[in-house]
Every structure is written in structure tokens, then in C-alpha cells.
Amino acid sequence: MAAQTEENLLKRQKLASCSSDDEAGMDLVDGVPPPCECDECFLDSGDSAGEQTSPTRKELLRKMSRNSWRKIRNMVHWSPFIQQFKKHRYPWIQLAGHQGNFRAGEQGTILKKLCSKEQKCLKILMSDILRPYVPEYIGEVEKDGENYIQMQDLLGEFESPCLMDCKLGVRTYLEDELQKARECPKLRKDMYQKMVEVDPNEPTEQERAQGAITKPRYMIWRETISSSATLGFRIEGIKKSDGSSSRDFKTTKTREQVTESFQYFTDKNKSVILKYCRRLKAIRATLEASPFFHKHELIGSSLLFVHDGTERSSVWMIDFGKSTQLPEGVTLDHRAEWEEGNREDGYLRGLDSLIDIFEQMLNGQNNNTT
């Protein structure tokens, strides 16, 4: 029965995968897969997605399946797969990013779809002073014809953990991505629709007349609506130990809004807040002395916060798929304002803000500034 449960949960996790290789195995109309709606998949979609064309049969079927898929999407996104570790079973949950990128590994490990850039970073980090603050890299493995990075399962020591993913930095796109989007700009009706759903007053008169915007316009705007622009980080997702969860933080922008979200996540538990504060300060001090950090631009990287009912708490740096080594002789301040061309990522600016907010929560101070 346990094996069958694990198999069923793995199938549900695979159902949420972004990979087109999985489409053939999905029990969907005409082989149309459920759409992944993470930001990365949306931005990576072809520019033709926004063009005005006559819908094909497959497009109509995709549209029909989208509504029913949305009803179960949140359940699938937050569905755990069960893994055996230290003679007890526990849920492992993906908070953000491409769904289906992970699967169960050997005891105490998880498998993440291979990204050569992330793999390279993890290998370097194993000999850097940041090693205690990142998941342990174990190696590359092949499973069912797919290559994966095998790494430490950070949730293995926790019982029914609460999780929070915070994306660090003032932007989540590389300068190269912005430049490529500008080389052949096309009007995107889908991105216009995403914009007006969040802020109907944002489009210009010309954009309203067109009913579309360009991808560079969307990429830059997207960062301004969250706390990435104001605080140097944003919340990607929160899951509580009772199973309740939320990923609706796209417009959580002010310091007060972020503080309220942190209070909800920690239940205002001073012991948990104190441990998070100490861990964040240790990460910051180590970053400022780290050779890896001085030689890399960190884009799209997150901090994973985990605690449980025993008040065991920790924070790790995760997601290095967009971390890029800097050219020889180039250094970043990691706090300076980003201007196109200077490659500043704002990582330390975000970390400073996080520490400041947790310290104010610890001291019981009200925070009403933006």
C-alpha cells in the first residue's frame, strides 16, 4: 500500500512537469498537457504566443483543458511526494518555479532536473565557505532516461515543516535575457492581459490601443510590482504545517505587507524568529567573505526558510540556475542600484532588508514604512 501511495504521488508530481517529454504519458485530450503557469515558463514561451492567429484544434483543446486544470493546479503544485528517511515518512514540497523539476532520490536526497549552470555552481560551493548554507551536492544521476542533480534533502530533519521561499535580488532576469528580448520585439497580447489583471491602470494609451505589450516591457514591469523593487527580495510562496499554502505574493510590495506575511509564517514565535535572524546574519557575514559570491552574479536565487513545531529552524541558499560567473576583473557590490550594464543583482540589499524586518519583529516594533 505504501509503495502504491508513493507511485500515485509521483505520478501526480510528474503531471505538473513542464517538460514536453512527459506529454505522451499524460491522460489528456489529444495529448495536450496541462499548462505550467510559473513565471519562468511564461516568459520562456515563444513570442508567437501573443500574436493574433486563428486558433488551431489543439489550441482550442488546450484552452478547454486549462479551466479544468486550474481547479486542481494549486493542489498539484503543493502536493507532496512521500519519501522514506530515518524510518519515518514525511512530505517533500516544491514551493516555486517549474513544477515537476524534482523527484525522490535515495534516502536523505532529492533529484532535481539537470541544469549545467546550477551543477557547476554547486560543485564550486562544495569547496567554498558557503557550503554549510547550501544543499550538499552529491552528484549527477540518470533515472528513467533523464539526468538529475542529486542533492541533500533539506527537509529531512523536520517534522511537518513550515516553508517559505524568498527570491533575493532586485531582478529575476539576466541582462542577456533582456537584450535578446529587445532584438526582435513582438507585441504580446498574453503579457498585456497578465499586466491588466494585476493593474488595469498600468498600460499606456498606446498599449491599450494595441491590446498588447512587448516582452521587455513586461519583464521590467513585473519586478516593480513586488517588494523586489522596494526591498530587494520578494516572497514566492509559503506553506504552513497544517497544509495551508499561498503563492499569491506578486503584489506584496510594502514593508508592512511583507512583515504581516512573515508574522503569519512564523506565528510570531520569538524563538523561531530569533533563530532565523541569527542564521541570516551568519549567511550575510559568510557571503561577504566568500570567493564564490565575489565572482558571481546571483539572479533568481532564493532563500528557503524551514521550521517545525519543535522550533527547529534554518535557512538555506537555493536555486543557482541563473547564477553567472563574472568576467575576470569584474566585481559587484551586491547592494548598489542596478543600471543596465553594471550587472548588480541587489542580493545583499535584499538580505539586509530581511534581517532588518526580522529584527524589528523580534523587538516587537511596528513597521509602517514602505
- For residue 11, is pLDDT > 80? no
Report the chain's mean pLDDT, rounded to a whole number: 79
- Of 324, 348, 328, nearest to 338 (Cα)? 348
- For residue 280, is pLDDT > 90? yes
pLDDT-based confidence at residue 41 (cuts at 50, 70, 90): low
Pairing of strands 233-239, 109-113: unpaired
Q: Model confidence over 212-269: pLDDT tens digits?
A: 998 888 888 888 899 998 999 999 999 999 988 898 898 899 999 999 999 999 999 9
pLDDT-based confidence at residue 5 (cuts at 50, 70, 90): very low
Residue 241: predicted pLDDT = 93
| Contact present, 162 and 239 (Cβ < 8 Å) | yes
Residue 52: predicted pLDDT = 44
Question: pLDDT > 90: what percent of the chain?
Answer: 54
* Phi and psi torsions of 308, nearest 5°: -135, -175
Q: Model confidence over 133-162: pLDDT tens digits?
A: 999 999 999 998 999 999 999 998 899 999
Q: Model confidence over 320-357: pLDDT tens digits?
A: 999 999 999 888 999 999 888 888 999 999 999 999 99
| Choice between 216 and 359, residue whose per-residue pLDDT is larger | 359
Residue 370: predicted pLDDT = 43
Beta bridge partners of 246: 238
Residue 220: predicted pLDDT = 84
Q: Order of strands across the sheet with 233-239?
A: 245-246, 233-239, 162-168, 302-307, 313-318
**Among 102-106, 200-204, 282-286, which stretch is predicted with the lowest mean pLDDT?**
102-106
Q: Where are the alpha helices (DSSP H) in 200-287?
A: 205-210, 215-224, 227-231, 255-266, 270-287
Q: Model confidence over 73-132: pLDDT tens digits?
A: 333 344 344 344 444 444 445 555 455 687 888 878 999 999 999 999 999 999 999 999
Residue 206: predicted pLDDT = 94
